[in-house]
Amino acid sequence: MTTIHYREIVCNGCKQTEIVDEKKSFDLQHFASACGQSPEWVLQLLEYDILPSRSEERIHQFFGDDISRARRAYRLQRDFDASFTAVAMMLDLIDEVQQLRRQVKHQQFQTH
């Protein structure tokens, strides 16, 4: 049995769950189970670069922070009936927006 430590964040009525122990590693089977999906679905995430690339010897090693990304990918796929290609693009755009927001906050903090 695998124990996953997580925290739930509620902001403006929106609930988000994040994995706390991002250093814990999972094999393909346990990772798929933690995501509530099949191993084949997880392999599609790797094929479409939705999950970070791994070296050949560690291709089936996953970490706690991968679970949140995989679950987010599933929600986008489900909610928008999106293909893996579309999900990959949406996640890239979401990541870019979050990075830009962090940069703006950092600049605002430095100017005050």
pLDDT tens-digit profile of 77-112?
Answer: 999 999 999 999 999 999 999 999 999 988 888 887
Domain span at 11: 6-111
* 39 within a domain of the structure (yes/no): yes
> 13 falls in which pLDDT band (50, 70, 90)?
low
Domain count, the chain: 1
Q: pTM score > 0.95 for this model?
A: no
> 49 falls in which pLDDT band (50, 70, 90)?
very high
Whether residue 19 has pLDDT greater than 70: no
CATH number of the domain residue 20 falls in: 1.10.1660.10
* 41 within a domain of the structure (yes/no): yes
* 58 within a domain of the structure (yes/no): yes
* 31 within a domain of the structure (yes/no): yes
Contact 56, 46 (CB under 8 A): no
Element (DSSP H or E) covering residue 63: strand 62-63
* 1 within a domain of the structure (yes/no): no
- Cα separation, 55 vs 46, in Å, equals 12
* 46 within a domain of the structure (yes/no): yes
pLDDT the model gives residue 2: 55
